[in-house]
Chains A and B, each alone.
Chain A
Amino acid sequence: MHYLFEPGLLSSGPVRTALIVGTVVAITSGVIGVFTVLRGQSFAGHSLADVATTGGAGAFLVGINQFWGFLAAGIAAAALMEAIGVQRRRGRDVATGVVLGAALGAAALFLYLGTLHTATTGASFTVLFGSIFVVSPDTVPALAASGVIALLVTAVLSRTLLLTSVSPDLARARGVNVRLVGIAYLGALAVSVSLAAVAIGAVLSTALLIGPSATALRVTKSPARAMAVSALTGLAVTWLGIVLAYDSYYWPPRGHGWPVSFFVVVLVLAAYLLSYARPRRRLAPRSPHEEEGCEPVSALVAPEV
């Protein structure tokens, strides 16, 4: 056993907290990420994470827990993106980008002001890259509750969400308020991204959001199964990442652990590349016009990613 786990892994308090937080994050990101990939909103997901850094930096400046900063900024940005984002994909990307740029500028300002007042320099690194080993046990209930709420919203909306993801026009014809569903979904996404930001850092939370879900959607076409596979992949990746980071304390340079985020990212990439090894099946002949906007109804299976 000790070849794999260095001694004292499970008796360490921070590691236990990290495992619990990692589990919540992996499941939430895994399930919600499937919709993010299906809806082609990888950029929005990543931007929400980056915008969350603004909130994290602001929270650092005010002196409250980073998670609340992440959450507030994430939800505000989600609302803003949906408000100015036009429905066409290209326009939406540009609107997302402009919101992102402005928010990053504000993050720079907050971090700068923060260092002026407190003379600590490690803050920007923690905000951007996170450290799951320093999550305080007190915040765990809040983190878990947020994760459960986001998952519940997604579960309640799941059928409508699938329909609006795969064919917005069909959903509109059936009387679904596509816009409202979009906002609710972005809200859940913001919560999940904030959770991941606490665990592996805002900049890298995209890894847990997109990686496992993209892998799952390459392996299976059924959305429900994809969510399960994605959550499991996320779990495996996170746990393994935590264990490796714990072990790495004994690797060179000695006495200095490697960051969890690094291991998580590498494992996520490995999982995604592995999914290429599996032979692909085509369920239905594909139309040459299936790119944005004019999907045939027969495309009611998950698009290939």
Chain B
Amino acid sequence: MFTGLMLNTWVAASVVAVIAGMTGFFAVLRGSTFAAHAIPNGAFAGAAGASLLGINVIWGLAVFAVGGALGIGALGTEGRGRKARHDVVTALTLVVMLGLGALFVSVSSQYAEKTYSLLFGEVFGVSRGEVLPILGLGVAAGLAIGVAFRPLMLTGAVPEVAEARGVSTRRAELYFLIVMALATSMTVPVVGALLMFSLMIGPAAAARSVTARPGTALALSVLIALATVWLSIALSYETNWPLGFFVGTIGAFFYLTGLGARTFGGDRIRSA
């Protein structure tokens, strides 16, 4: 389980988990759950396009993910009464990208297995050459979040106060979406488009329901994401079942455990 190719898998998946835990924390805090779903999902289409053109899928993923982030950010965050429109624009951006993906896949007449692994992940196929770019993008995304930590927190938790202090909510949102897009483009080949999302939301939501302190919640979110990924890899290795299944189920399990802890632990846990 810890030799040769599997070592690449462990390293790549751990980097993915750290990044997903961090971006997921802000996604849950800012209420960008739908965007967190739409960007990785839509980016899948870019991967299909890239393999149609015969270039590295990372580039296709990056172009589509950032394009999606810009689409959601540009059309969706203007004006008041934002939430409903934001969701509508997110949905439309997502389906446009997926529609293109359907076209690419159908035209390229590739085997459906390729589609399947892009959607649901193929963590056991990570090569040494892929580990380095993933590490690089991971460090970049971590730095990007670290640099803007305070404005992201402020605009996410108390947007009115942020606006009053002259921090642009809109710009912070766009910045965050782009960081999420970058993080996505490196994670999709590993955990798959559909499940990158579970890895972002499950651990972060569990962490937030246990503690109200941002620093603690962020750290906890990363830890839970790591635990989810490690457990999933081990189980997937043993059973040969798809990794995505374990990531989704274990993520939901942690969330429900967090909910239970809050319900039964009451204020004691929340204020701890």
Contacts and interface: CB of A to CB of B under 8 A. Distances in A.
A97 B200 CA distance: 10
Interface string B37-71: 10001000000000000000000000000000000
Interface in B245-271: 245-249, 251-252, 255, 259
Nearest to B246: A105
Interface in B214-272: 241-242, 244-249, 251-252, 255, 259
B34 to A, nearest CB: 4
A206 B95 CA distance: 7
Interface residues of B, number: 58
A73 B102 CA distance: 23
Contacts of B82: 291
Contacts of B198: 98, 100-102, 104-105
Interface string B67-85: 0000000000001111111
Given A108-B194, A261-B102, A303 B92 contact: no
Given A94-B205, A105-B245, A112-B241, A124 B116 contact: yes
Main secondary structure of the interface of B (DSSP, over half): helix
A206 B91 contact: yes
Contacts of A256: 106-107, 109
B105 interface: yes
Interface in A4-51: 37-38, 40-43, 45-47, 50
Nearest to A269: B96
B205 A98 contact: yes
B147 to A, nearest CB: 25
A101 B33 contact: no
A101 B34 contact: no
Interface stretch (A134-142, A172-180, A207-215, A219-227): A207-215
A89 B215 CA distance: 24
A105 B232 CA distance: 11
B34 A98 contact: no
Contact of B33 (A97, A104, A253): A97
B87 interface: yes
Contact of B201 (A89, A101, A115, A128): A101
A269 B246 CA distance: 35
B115 interface: yes
B13 interface: no
Contact of B95 (A104, A106, A207, A286): A207
A43 B31 CA distance: 12
Nearest to A41: B87
A105 B249 contact: yes
B103 A98 contact: no
B82 to A, nearest CB: 7
B119 interface: yes
A250 interface: no
A185 interface: no
A37 B246 contact: no
Contact of A46 (B91, B195, B251): B91
Nearest to B82: A291
B269 to A, nearest CB: 17
A101 B119 contact: no
B115 A124 contact: yes
B83 A104 contact: no
B189 interface: no
A109 B247 CA distance: 11
Contacts of B116: 111, 115, 121, 124
A100 B200 CA distance: 12
Contacts of B107: 253, 256, 258
Contact of A104 (B88, B111, B194): B194
Interface string A137-165: 00000000000000000000000000000
Interface of A: 37-38, 40-43, 45-47, 50, 84, 89-90, 93-94, 96-109, 111-112, 115, 121-125, 128-129, 201, 203-204, 206-207, 210-211, 214, 253, 256, 258-259, 261-262, 264-266, 268-269, 272, 286, 288, 290-292, 303-305
Interface of B: 28, 31, 33-34, 36-37, 41, 79-85, 87-88, 90-92, 94-96, 98-100, 102-103, 105-107, 109, 111-113, 115-116, 119-120, 192, 194-195, 197-198, 201-202, 205, 241-242, 244-249, 251-252, 255, 259
The 8 closest A-B pairs by CB, nearest first: A105-B248, A101-B198, A265-B99, A42-B87, A102-B252, A108-B244, A207-B95, A109-B245
Given A101-B202, A204-B99, A262-B99, 12 more contacts: A45-B91, A46-B91, A98-B252, A101-B248, A101-B251, A105-B247, A111-B120, A128-B119, A256-B109, A261-B102, A262-B106, A269-B92
15 contacts: A43-B34, A45-B91, A89-B83, A99-B252, A104-B244, A105-B246, A105-B247, A112-B241, A128-B119, A207-B99, A258-B107, A262-B103, A265-B95, A292-B83, A303-B84
